[in-house]
């Protein structure tokens, strides 16, 4: 790759990031459905044509933003749980960290406000990027049910964001009892650790 090509690629990446940053603020302030490409162009300080150079339409812009933030959160969560050997504990911690990460950022949490939920559900349900990241948490690569386990985990995170529990402790307890035993196959548990049945009582 020539230095000119590299510079062009760098500029393109910076431009797309600036556009996505501008879109994030607009999604938060005025709503996802209400944000137009013209709005994004004005907020980013560029022409409408420039926005369309990087994103074909509003849907492409929304998906690009969701995927960017998903990768950021996925990277952070993956690093945080990398030292957890027990697959069940790793799933529980991954869910709780992902939920906390979204809630801590207003520009992300806005996607789960009532006015935006339909758009959010549509993107999440069809995103191969989101499900691929989830699959890396819940199952081995040769697991035939890997995709289904990943979809269930994604739906769990979305459900907690749409309908929060009474407390973080309650949410963790629900994930431990009713989610982790489903998405983690018993063959993945470390020796000596029995699998908890979903209806088994918790012991402090």
CATH code at position 41: 1.10.10.60
Convert 25-69 into a string of H (helix), E (strand) and C (coil).
HHHHHHCCCCCCHHHHHHHHCCCHHHHHHHCCCHHHHHHHHHHHH
CB environment 137-147: b (16+ within 10 A), e (fewer): bbbeeebeebb
Q: What is the extent of the structural domain holding 45?
A: 1-55
Same domain, 124 and 179: yes
- Whose tokens are 């709503």? That residue is 31
Same domain, 113 and 196: yes
- Per the CB < 8 A criterion, the answer to whether 158 and 124 are in contact is yes
Question: Residues 58-103: pLDDT tens digits?
Answer: 999 999 999 999 999 999 999 999 999 999 999 999 999 999 999 9
Residue 139 has pLDDT above 60, yes or no: no
Note the pLDDT of residue 196: 42
Question: Residues 113-134: pLDDT tens digits?
Answer: 888 999 998 998 888 888 888 8
Most confident listed range (2-16, 89-103, 138-152): 89-103
Same domain, 30 and 43: yes
pLDDT classification of 178: cutoffs 50, 70, 90 = very high
Residue 50 has φ and ψ, to the nearest 5°, of -65, -40
Same domain, 113 and 32: no
Same domain, 135 and 44: no
Note the pLDDT of residue 62: 96
Count of structural domains, the chain: 2
Phi-psi category of 31—alpha, beta or left, where left has phi over 0 and alpha has psi -120 to 50? left
Same domain, 161 and 86: yes
Same domain, 45 and 62: no
Average pLDDT estimate for 167-184: 94
């Amino acid at each position: 790759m020539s230095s000119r090509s590299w510079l062009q690629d760098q500029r393109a990446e910076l431009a797309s990031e600036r556009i996505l940053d501008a879109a994030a603020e607009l999604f938060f302030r005025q709503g996802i459905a209400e944000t137009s490409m013209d709005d994004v162009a004005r907020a980013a300080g560029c022409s409408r044509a420039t926005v369309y150079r990087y994103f074909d339409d509003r849907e492409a812009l929304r998906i690009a933003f969701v995927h960017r933030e998903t990768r950021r959160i996925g990277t952070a969560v993956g690093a945080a749980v990398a030292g957890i050997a027990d697959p069940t504990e790793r799933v529980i911690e991954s869910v709780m960290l992902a939920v906390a990460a979204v809630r801590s950022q207003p520009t992300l949490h806005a996607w789960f406000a009532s006015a935006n939920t339909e758009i959010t559900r549509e993107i999440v349900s069809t995103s191969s990027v989101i499900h691929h990241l989830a699959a890396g948490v819940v199952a081995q690569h040769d697991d035939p049910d890997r995709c289904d386990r990943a979809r269930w985990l994604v739906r769990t995170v979305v459900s907690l964001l749409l309908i929060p529990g009474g407390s973080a402790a309650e949410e963790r307890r629900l994930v431990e009892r009713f989610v982790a035993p489903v998405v983690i196959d018993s063959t993945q548990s470390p020796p000596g650790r029995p699998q908890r049945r979903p209806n088994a009582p918790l012991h402090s």
